[in-house]
Structure 1
Amino acid sequence: MKLRISHRTVYRYDRPIRNIVQSLRLKPSVFEGQQTQDWKIEVAGGMCGPVFRDGAGDWIEGWTVRGPTQEITVISSGGIETRDMAGVLRGHREMIHPLTYLQTTRATEPAANLRQLADSVAHGDDTLDLAHRLSHAVSDAIAFRPGVTQARTTAAEALEQGEGVCQDHTHALIALARMKDLPARYVSGYLHSSSSGEAQDAAHAWAEIHVGSLGWVGFDAANASCPDDRYVRLGSGLDAPDAAPIRGIGMGAGVENLDVAVQVDEVESFQSQSQSQG
């Protein structure tokens, strides 16, 4: 599938701030399932600094905005060609050992209700089967409902209320997998809607679970599926804050307001898309 993606993030402050430093994880991952075309990242009024690939295989760009300013706009855009890899992350180069992803975080703390859900899942035939069973258990236990949770909602809290968004499903699945001694991590990216319209064009999140010889395999509990060619992978981490596409800090005490717009369009060819824009 050929996709055009535009991701615009605007930070607004009620008073000027300065010396803003941002770490951007906004360039899609490099592996057999996706290949980028003319991808670019822009920060209005910013200067690009260190650029590198970290130990998890994610592309990191450091940007600085000196200010003072009350608005920062970050735009990431480009084309990408994706292939359905049945969720398997094949050809992704990274150096961090999978066992690193057994450690827990505040968002994935193994509370009693999560342990009870994990204990209710039988092991099955093999590790891959177990991972699928865990994902289905989360899909059944947490209904997808936008606006009912917040950025700091934990997996246990989302399970307690029985509803949430993709971030909550992902945190819950990660918690369950780790309780079964399966390394699991949070993945940030994009999802293009299918023809039946059950998914929205949006920034999205899912989990990857390490299942032996297959390596990392993606599981989207929010949509009860494994990532296919509708998914675009950006980067990963222990949880949502660790895998955030944009992280930053600045000098000042202003109140921050955030506005995010993501558009994902399927195109016939990147060449014709470029010509139409010209």
Structure 2
Amino acid sequence: MRLSISHDTTYHYEDQVRASIQYLRLTPHDSERQHVLSWQLDLPRPVRAQVDPFGNILHVLTLDEPHDAIIIGARGVVEIDELREAEHESQSAFPFLRSTRLTEPDDALRGFAGQHCHQRRDRTALIDLMHALNHTMVYTPGATDVDTCAAQAFAGAAGVCQDHTHAFLACARSLGIPARYVSGYLYTEDST
């Protein structure tokens, strides 16, 4: 499948800011499952690509002059091998076993993970866990904010995509399964 992607982000500030730094992880890389046919960033000034410790392509945009808006664009074409379901990682999985402030499991999350996965640690168990979390935590915009941790969202039985992700990461890591947060685009048949 060939995907044409056009992504624009605009930041508007109420007052001028003197300077800003943006860490941009908007550039996909080639992998076993995807091939980047073309890609460009439209930015207010030139930047250089680098690779962060997790293998992501990173650009650092530094604006040293006063501004009240920033417009960031990313465009390109990516080809996806729909038949390849998984990719093989060359990096160590150890960083993805570590909890963060947002993904620290409490007893409730550990118990939930154990109840839904038992001794299973395969893909099917993780899919079952994902569905169980989705059923338990109702998608509710405004129920949480960016600082809400997995345990709080789980206790409130509501949240948005990031809360479901944080709860899933907390559960998987509590079972000894490396898991990481990956963002991107979701293609659906009715997408334009």
Q: Relative contact order (alpha carbons < 8 A, sep ≥ 6): 1 or 2 greater?
A: 1
Contact kept? 2:7, 2:73, Cα under 8 Å: yes
Identity of aligned residues (%): 34
Give deviations 1:41-61, integer Å, cap 9, x for gaps: 1222x231x421233221111
Distance 2:140 2:76 in 1: 30
Distance 1:172 1:86 in 2: 27
Query: 1:58 maps to what in 2?
Result: 56
Q: 5+ residue gaps in structure 2?
A: none
Q: 1:126/1:111 Cα in 2 relative to 1: closer, same or farther (>3 Å)?
A: closer
Q: How much has 1:171 moved relative to structure 2?
A: 0.7
Query: 1:180 maps to what in 2?
Result: 175
Query: 1:72 maps to what in 2?
Result: 70
Q: 5+ residue gaps in structure 1?
A: 196-200, 202-264, 266-278
Query: 2:159 maps to what in 1?
Result: 164
Contact kept? 2:25, 2:58, Cα under 8 Å: yes
Query: 2:118 maps to what in 1?
Result: 123
Q: How much has 1:180 moved relative to structure 2?
A: 0.4
Q: 1:18/1:47 Cα in 2 relative to 1: closer, same or farther (>3 Å)?
A: farther
Query: 2:46 maps to what in 1?
Result: 47
Return the structure number with greater helix share.
2
Question: TM-score scaled by structure 1?
Answer: 0.63
2:72 is the counterpart of 1:82: no
Contact kept? 1:123, 1:129, Cα under 8 Å: no
Give deviations 1:206-253, integer Å, cap 9, x for gaps: xxxxxxxxxxxxxxxxxxxxxxxxxxxxxxxxxxxxxxxxxxxxxxxx
Q: 1:109/1:85 Cα in 2 relative to 1: closer, same or farther (>3 Å)?
A: farther
Contact kept? 1:155, 1:172, Cα under 8 Å: yes
Distance 1:147 1:75 in 2: 27
Give deviations 1:116-142, integer Å, cap 9, x for gaps: 212312435553343233223212212
Query: 2:3 maps to what in 1?
Result: 3
Question: TM-score scaled by structure 2?
Answer: 0.88
Give deviations 1:62-116, integer Å, cap 9, x for gaps: 22222211111111111111122564124x5x54x10121111111111232122
Q: How much has 1:154 moved relative to structure 2?
A: 1.6
User: Match of 1:26, as an amino acid?
Assistant: L
Q: 1:185/1:6 Cα in 2 relative to 1: closer, same or farther (>3 Å)?
A: same
> 2:107 is matched with which residue: 98, 107, 112?
112
CA RMSD of aligned residues (A): 2.1
2:20 is the counterpart of 1:20: yes
SS in 1 for 2:177: coil
Q: Size of the alignment, in residue pairs?
A: 192
